[in-house]
Amino acid sequence: MSNKVFYCLTGGFVLGIFLSSFFKLGFYFAIFLLLLSLPVYFFAKFFTERKALFILLALFIFSFGLGILRYEIKDSRVGNNVLENLVGEKVIFRGVIDDEPSVKDQSVELITSGDMILTGGREYKSSEKILVSTGLFPEFKYGDLIQVEGKLAQPENFETATGKDFDYVSYLAKEDIFYQMNFAQVRVVSSGHGSWLKEKLFAFKNSFINKINLLIKEPESALLNGLILGAKNSLGKDLQTDFRVAGVSHIVALSGYNITIVAVGIMAVLSFLPRAASLSFGALGIILFALMTGGTATVMRASIMALLVILAKQTNRKYDITRALLLAGMIMLIQNPKILVFDISFQLSFISTVALIFISPIVERKMIFITGKYHLRELIVATVSTQIFVLPFLIYKMGLVSIFGLFANVLILPAIPLIMLLGFLTGMTAFVFFPLAIPLAFACSIFLSYVLGVIHLFSHLPFSSITFSNFPIILMLTIYAVLFIVIWRSPDFSKKTNETY
């Protein structure tokens, strides 16, 4: 019964958010559902013998209403009346850089929290977030108070290179960004206006990246920074295109593997301490790592699941990965419900994890002929499972399919753990004694060059990718319906697992 209650609550909440992302259901409908759940519950308790069924129905209606209500609260922020009247005008804006600057090939994007707007000799107070695009120099950092001069605009949707419409307005709105200033003139007024902890974490991250850049040449250093810290900005547009065409973009997206390395490493170093202390420091390391790497949806999902593993160990309780995945999703949706539909990294992270949990056992039974030595079967099974499950979504969202993605992943993924270990040791050794890091960097460079060589080969083969400019959503949903039927009929569906991903 407890499982059914949990799934009813999570299912209703997610459905409420999902439908609200497409239809304006409104506060009143949400309140109506919350009130409706009460008579359904009392009917179940006192007027029917099918108590369990109607109690679950009441809980589902209640959580469905909560999902709608949470989305409506988030969606109630749609902009600022003062700024609406200034769209299209040249303004002077002052604000604090809220996050790490996002460095592009020829520009940098700054997310700023407003302080004031000056225009026409008048001053307006504003706390709105504004996305500022400016030149690469001077360099900016988190916590800088900046003054920006340029034309205030509202984001617009655009068409991608593959012919897909990208809802850029909703993508920014999920972070409460409704205005932007492109080609703006920016100067730093002062520094140190952000969180002290985040400033220190970002400073350490940047120092680590700088030491890697001194020891390892481009583009190998850019790839290593992406693998360890998720720093994809320095990869460059051409290299990122090669990653997409070769079907290996996911290797520079921080995942549960990175988080596990952080937690296990800390707990191993502190293994001499009492178990509770070791686990506590492991949890603290996960939280700090998530903050340092920007707290993306993928990192947050993996971090929450890893923290649940530590909590289960501390309380001597069984770890159910399916419930942990759903609970992680619930926590993230409570914090920001708009990521369910408008954040592709959130969607891909969960789809990939579902594939590893439910598809991989089915695929593994079909691949028992592959040797288990060197984890070869495990690697191929995981790659095939995620490729199968993610493919319909990627075609619908991006319109690009890599023909040789499976082969590229099989050749690359065995080298990734070793690269990450050598890269981490290289960076940390450079802090202690720089010359000692040189041989480690040399060894790491060999494997990085191998990975880049494989990516270059598969991304430049004839017909290495197929573009779908029009892939109907109904077709994607049909494919997933078939896949879920296969999962449901699988004998592995009801099994619980203690593995983490």
Res. 117 pLDDT band, cuts 50 70 90: confident
- What is the predicted pLDDT for the residue at 118? 78
Residue 66 located in a structural domain: yes
- My answer on whether 15 and 85 are in the same domain is no
More confident residue, 464 or 340: 340
For residue 501, the model assigns a pLDDT of 39
Q: Is residue 86 part of a domain?
A: yes
- CATH number, domain containing residue 145: 2.40.50.140
> Given this model, what pLDDT does residue 399 score?
82
Q: How confident is the model at residue 369 (pLDDT cuts 50, 70, 90)?
A: confident
Residue corresponding to tokens 């039974």: 365
Determine the Cα–Cα distance for residues 204 and 208; give it in Å rounded to an integer: 6
Q: Are residues 31 and 108 in the same domain?
A: no
pLDDT at 44: 80
Q: Output the pLDDT for position 337.
A: 94
Q: Which residue has the tokens 């288990």?
A: 372
Amino acid identity at 98: D
Domain count for the chain: 2
| Residue spans of alpha helices (H) in 230-375 | 237-246, 256-269, 275-292, 297-315, 321-335, 339-342, 344-354, 360-366
pLDDT at 387: 83
Expressed as residue numbers, the domain containing 166 is 81-194
Q: Please indicate, yes or no, whether residues 98 and 179 belong to a single structural domain of this protein.
A: yes
The pLDDT mean for the chain works out to 85
Asked, for residue 38, whether it belongs to a domain, the answer is: yes
Banded pLDDT at 493 (limits 50, 70, 90): low
Domain boundary among 147, 176, 194: 194
Q: Over the stretch 120-132, which tens digit does the pLDDT of each residue have?
A: 777 878 788 999 9
Same domain? 26 vs 110:
no
The whole-number pLDDT of residue 253 equals 66
- Cα first-last separation, the chain: 27
Output 29 or 302, whichever has higher pLDDT.
29
Q: How confident is the model over 202-211, as a mean pLDDT?
A: 92
The reply to whether 107 and 175 lie within a common domain is yes
Whether residue 177 lies inside any domain: the answer is yes
Structure tokens at 132: 């500022």
Q: What is the pLDDT of residues 219-256, one digit of tens each?
A: 899 899 888 887 766 677 778 888 888 888 777 766 66
Question: Is the pLDDT confidence value at 326 over 50?
Answer: yes
The amino acid occupying position 438 is I
Do the domain assignments include residue 332?
no
60 and 99: one domain? no
The pLDDT assigned to 256 comes to 61
372 falls within a domain:
no
Of 59-68, 262-271, 320-329, the poorest mean pLDDT is in 262-271
Higher pLDDT, 18 or 400: 18
- Assess whether 90 and 190 both reside in one domain: yes
- Domain boundary among the residues 75, 105, 134 is at 75
Last residue of a domain, one of 134, 159, 194: 194
For residues 394-414, give the mean pLDDT.
Answer: 85
Same domain, 86 and 190: yes
Same domain, 63 and 85: no
Confidence category of residue 346, pLDDT binned at 50, 70, 90: confident
Same domain, 105 and 172: yes
126 shares a domain with 29: no
- Upper half-sphere CA count for residue 236 (Cβ side, 13 Å): 9
pLDDT tens string 56-93: 999 999 999 999 999 999 988 776 777 888 888 899 98
Give the C-alpha separation, 130 to 164, whole Å.
Answer: 26
Tokens coding 428:
């940390």
* pLDDT of amino acid 401: 83
Within a domain: 87: yes
Per-residue pLDDT of 149-203, as tens digits, reads 999 999 999 888 777 788 899 999 998 899 999 999 999 999 999 899 999 999 9
For residues 29-54, average pLDDT: 87
Closest CA to 146 of 203, 189, 202: 189
Pair 179, 107 in one domain: yes
- Would residue 189 count as lying in a domain? yes
Q: Quick one: tokens of 343?
A: 């954040």
Per-residue pLDDT averaged across 294-315, rounded? Answer: 79
pLDDT per position as a tens digit, 474-485: 999 899 999 988
For residue 49, the SS3 value is coil
